[in-house]
Amino acid sequence: MNRFYVTTPIYYVNDVPHIGHCFTTIVADTLARYHRLAGDETFFLTGTDEHGEKIAEAAALRDTTPQAVADEYSQRFRATWEALGFSFDRFIRTTDPDHVRNVQAVLTRVHEAGDIDFREYEGLYCVGCERFLTDRDLVDGRCADHERAPEPRREGNYFFRLTRYREWLAEYIRAHPDFIRPERYRNEALAMLREDSGLEDFSISRPKSRVTWGIELPFDPDHVCYVWFDALINYLTGIGYPDAPDFDALWGATQHVIAKDILKQHALFWPAMLRSMGLPPFRHLNVHGYWSVDGRKISKSLGNAVDPLLMRERYGFDAFRYFLLREMVFGVDANFTEEALVTRANADLANNLGNLLNRTLNMTERFAGGAVPSAVAVGAPEAEVEAGARRAATAVHGAVAEFKFHDALAAIVAFASDVNRYLDARAPWKQAKREGGTAAVHTTLYTAAESLRWIALLLAPFLPEAAPRILAQLGLAASVAPGSLPREDARWGALAAGAPIARGAPLFPRIERADPR
């Protein structure tokens, strides 16, 4: 059996879930659903990152404990992901006891390998980044990410000897061209590894005299672990490192999904840490771009961080999910507006796919007694529809393998358009008026219904709420079984004649832009 392991970053508990977090999780969820339906043994990990100075600061301002702050925000993430129906197998927290044990075990192993040493360090420190910055990180003397001036600090910290792995890592990335994808981020990682890039060893500890909220170093109880060294290890803890019986098989199938702002930590820090531990690198690092909202960067000060629960309430989560996967070319920045969401959902879902389903069901009720008819007069037009279904399946599988979700959805919608044109050309309402036209009508309606079955199965990983409803309206079980994703060689005609259809409210009603008041 093939295995598939997909992860999101663990989200830092100083914010509430917004469109950026949601998109990454939608991608991972889509992949997990796809591989489960393809029959692969699949594990999907997400969770929250809970240690560090920012959490301690937030707790002090609120006169509470860091644990209470972490608990509150972690629960908000988990509750939101559950409300949105994400199919994760584990929601991990860096305060989980097994993760704390693993971090300390890894620290011990890397320290014993000679890759951690203690140094006095002086530089400019950004609390928002929780790290020392270099001149490359500053814009007009301020942190480029947090727009605040860093503060000068001098302290003793433990450092991971990242530069020891520079040559090995550059060679590995060159030898495995798809290790980091899309290619632009592979090239960016290689640029970070150049001799003139300013790459330095990175600090992995903070003194307890300044920060107490963290995992204690096993070889020095006066220091706690830096959040990034701590956080990356969650990908191991989540699948039972070090002794789960299927750990090696799952680790060999690892797909990390991240946004581009944390490329350095995942493309450089993490492979070097794994090398030091004696573990092989993950299989792929998949990097997507940023979402802006109404053409502006998401920021707390602007108050434009789109709430996914609000989008579900206004438009339905499948419509929101569809828009994000269809609109963003993976790896490239994209812009979100509610107007664009409404336009896309109405064009692709309501006017195309929803229209195909509604007219097929209506005509089946009218001309076939409300049950799926038999195809008894199959000819060249039906053969072309079948060929189109197979082409769509091939396109979907190829696009998902390359993280081209927009192309996969475009192929499904294009096939729905083809079937709508087939119905227009065959015109069952005219066929029914001809003497002996029943066989032609039934064949046309069966072909449309079988096409909808293929569409529902191909759509299931992307729109997990809508796809089962399509199947149910066709008289099938409202679920998609593992191994049921159709491929180009799948059986055409598996929809059994005689099944009673189940008309209901329109699956994708036309929507209007919600009043934001």
d(CA 331, CA 137): 22
Residues in the chain, how many? 517
Q: How far is Cα 131 from Cα 134, in angstroms, rounded to an integer?
A: 10
Q: Cα–Cα distance between 418 and 396 in angstroms, integer?
A: 16
Spatial distance between the Cα atoms of 375 and 226, rounded to a whole number of angstroms: 65
Say how far apart CA 291 and CA 176 lie, in whole Å. Answer: 29
Q: Quick check: 344 and 323 in contact, CB under 8 A?
A: yes
Question: Across the beta sheet with 296-297, what order do the strands follow?
Answer: 296-297, 291-293, 334-336
Closest CA to 42 of 54, 29, 60: 29
Cβ-contact 223, 158 below 8 angstroms = yes
Q: Are strands 202-203 and 151-160 parallel, antiparallel or unpaired?
A: antiparallel
What gap in Å lies between CA 485 and CA 475, rounded to an integer?
Answer: 18
CA 345 vs CA 312, 400, 503, 510: distances in Å: 13, 21, 21, 8
Contact 256, 225 (CB under 8 A): no
Q: What is d(CA 516, CA 57) in angstroms, rounded to the nearest whole number?
A: 34
Q: Which residues are designated catalytic?
A: 18, 21, 126, 129, 143, 146, 297, 300
**What are phi and psi for residue 490, nearest 5 degrees?**
-70, 160
Backbone angles phi, psi at 256, to 5 degrees: -85, 135
Give one word for 346, left, alpha or beta, with left for phi > 0 and alpha for psi -120 to 50: alpha
Report DSSP letters for 236-292, one per residue.
Answer: HHTTTTTT-TTHHHHHTTEEEEEEGGGHHIIIIIHHHHHHHHTPPPPSEEEEE-PEE
Number of Cβ within a 10 Å radius of residue 243: 6
Burial 282-292 (b: 16+ CB within 10 A, else e): bbbbbbbbbbb
Give me the helix-helix angle, 183-192 and 166-175, nearest 10°. 160
Cβ atoms of 153 and 132 within 8 Å: the answer is yes
- Report d(CA 19, CA 137) in Å as an integer: 25
Closest CA to 343 of 106, 511, 143, 127: 511
Residue 382 near residue 421 (C-beta atoms within 8 A):
no
Q: Residue 465 in 3-state DSSP? A: coil
- Sign of the Cα torsion 368, 370, 374, 375 reads positive
